Amino acid sequence: SAASLTRKYGVCEKAAIGKGATSVVRLAHKWDRTAAGEEEKLYAVKEFRKRRKAETEKEYVKKLTAEFCISSTLHHVNIVETVDLVQDEGGRWCEVMEFCPGGDLYAAIKKGGMSPSEVECCFKQILSGVGYLHSQGVAHRDIKPENLFFDTGGHLKIGDYGASTVYRLPWEATIHMSTGLCGSEPYIAPEQFLGKPYDARLVDIWACGIVYYCLHFQELPWRAAQQSDQLYAAYATAAAATPAAPAHTAERQPERNAPALSFPPTISNLSPRACRPLIRRMLEPDPRARASIEEVLGCAWVRGVEVCWEVGERARHVHVNARAMAGVGWGSGNDAPCTRVRGSFLVPIIYVILYGFRSLLFLFSRSYSYTRVYISLRKLRLLGT
């Protein structure tokens, strides 16, 4: 009911903290009385668009409940928690979610200054989240920095399941192939542009490879994985001339006189060197030869990556989301541990900083749609300045 949104989750701010093609996200404040006094809880409330005239009520409700039915069943440290689906005072359907005050990965990449250990930490957490999704028979189909969110404890979480699909139910032995073009154009896998059924799991793998490239270079490798894009066409030609090495190749120590592995230029400049065979397989234009999430997580390089919140005081870096929250007690060096924040007294400070920063991003650099084309910045410096 309308009353339940305010009663259960508090009052929503009028200003949006996020905008998508079909929804607006607002911050809800809920004050609860505890033995120690009043405690503030924050929720991200996703307000869905109103029903279109051409839609029946049944069609409209089916679309918005489909996302909730998927996301509400997912519970993992690298997945944004979905709490409830209710209506507000205006009768609009709203999805209540965990609020991640650390902002999104897009803002962190655009800000720059991430250390190699931070890049690897972020990437491994994304892979961990995707691995969980695929273990549940779910493919996200819109993995991109804007849909990856930081909490205050160093966790990077996958959110926004509007494009997700269930490719296999628990009792099924075979997968359902997906159809349709969805996602954001720079992250869409080449097979999706062909208009034929595709394996949605491999679409996620491709997008993760693009995200790693963005993390490393602060730019995108191409605007679209189509032959009409000259940069992608050059990559596809080079990839065909240098087939991806088998999964076990990266696990072995190279023989003394063995020739060095050759990679397309897009891959050959990535670091560390150990990542190149894996990213090459993740960005394999032929989905039949692309790595699965099991192969990716089984890679020796990925297994060796330290995740800051897992190793605690032994972490080699202050996580990027902590550094972004300037003035709340974190250091700025790369050798300090990733620190968890506890205590509601920090919430107003964090909110003001993040809201102001995100507002500037919305105003000057961000345009939200499922097929966004990045053309506003010079050449391919599309995520940096």
Domain of 202, CATH number, reads 1.10.510.10
Write down the pLDDT at residue 364.
43
Boundaries of domain holding 42: 2-98
Query: Which residues sit in the known binding site?
Result: 46
**Rounded to an integer, what distance in angstroms lies between the CA atom of residue 229 and that of residue 148?**
26
Answer yes or no: is 225 within a domain: yes
Please give the annotated binding residues for ATP, written as ranges: 46
Based on the fold, state whether residues 126 and 216 are members of the same structural domain.
yes
Q: What is the largest CA-CA distance in the chain?
A: 72
pLDDT tens-digit readout, 290-313: 999 999 999 999 999 999 877 665
Close Cβ partners of 283 (under 8 Å, ≥ 6 residues apart): 206, 209, 210, 213, 235, 239, 266, 267
Q: Please report how many Cα atoms fall inside a 13 Å half-sphere around the Cα of residue 114, on the Cβ side.
A: 26
Place of tokens 């205006």: 90
Torsion angle of C-alpha atoms 173, 124, 287, 243, degrees rounded to 10: -130
Q: Which residue, of 289, 306, 323, is where some domain finishes? A: 306
Does residue 52 belong to any structural domain of this protein? yes
Q: What is the CATH number of the domain that holds 41?
A: 3.30.200.20
**Would you state the pLDDT for residue 297?**
98
Burial class (CB in 10 A: 0-12, 13-18, 19+), 317: buried
Contact 181, 172 (CB under 8 A): no
Any domain includes 384: no
**Residue 172 to residue 274: CA distance in whole angstroms:** 36
User: Rounded to the nearest 10 degrees, how much is the dihedral formed by the CA atoms of 210, 211, 216, 219?
Assistant: 70
Question: 125 and 258, same structural domain?
Answer: yes
Catalytic center residues:
142
The residues of the chain scoring below 50 in pLDDT are 1, 250-251, 253-255, 257-259, 325-382, 384-385
Q: Is 80 found in the same domain as 12? A: yes
Shared domain check, 123 and 79? no
Q: Which residues neighbour 229 within 8 Å (Cβ) at sequence distance 6 or greater?
A: 222, 223
pLDDT value at position 317?
61
Q: Domain check: are 84 and 216 in the same one?
A: no
Q: What is the reported pLDDT for 3? A: 60
Residues 211 and 171 in one domain: yes
Based on the fold, state whether residues 143 and 164 are members of the same structural domain. yes
Residue 285 domain-assigned (yes or no): yes
Report the first-to-last Cα separation within the chain, whole angstroms.
46
The rounded distance, in Å, linking the Cα atoms of 278 and 291 is: 8
Q: Report how far residue 122's alpha carbon sits from residue 126's, in angstroms, rounded to the nearest whole number.
A: 6
Residue 376 lies in a domain: no
Give a yes or no: residue 375 inside a domain: no
Q: What integer pLDDT is reported at residue 206 of this predicted model?
A: 98
* Domain boundary pick from 306, 322, 349: 306
Residues 177, 294 within the same domain = yes
Residue 374 domain flag: no
Same-domain pairing of 109 and 188: yes
Residues 46, 90, single domain; the answer is: yes
Q: How many domains does the chain have?
A: 2
Give me the pLDDT at residue 381, please: 46
Q: Do residues 157 and 279 share a domain? A: yes
Tell me, yes or no, whether 321 lies in a domain: no
Q: State whether 79 and 109 are in the same domain.
A: no
For residue 43, the surrounding DSSP H or E stretch is strand 37-48
Indicate the SS3 state at residue 139. strand
Q: Which of 306, 341, 360 is the last residue of a domain?
A: 306
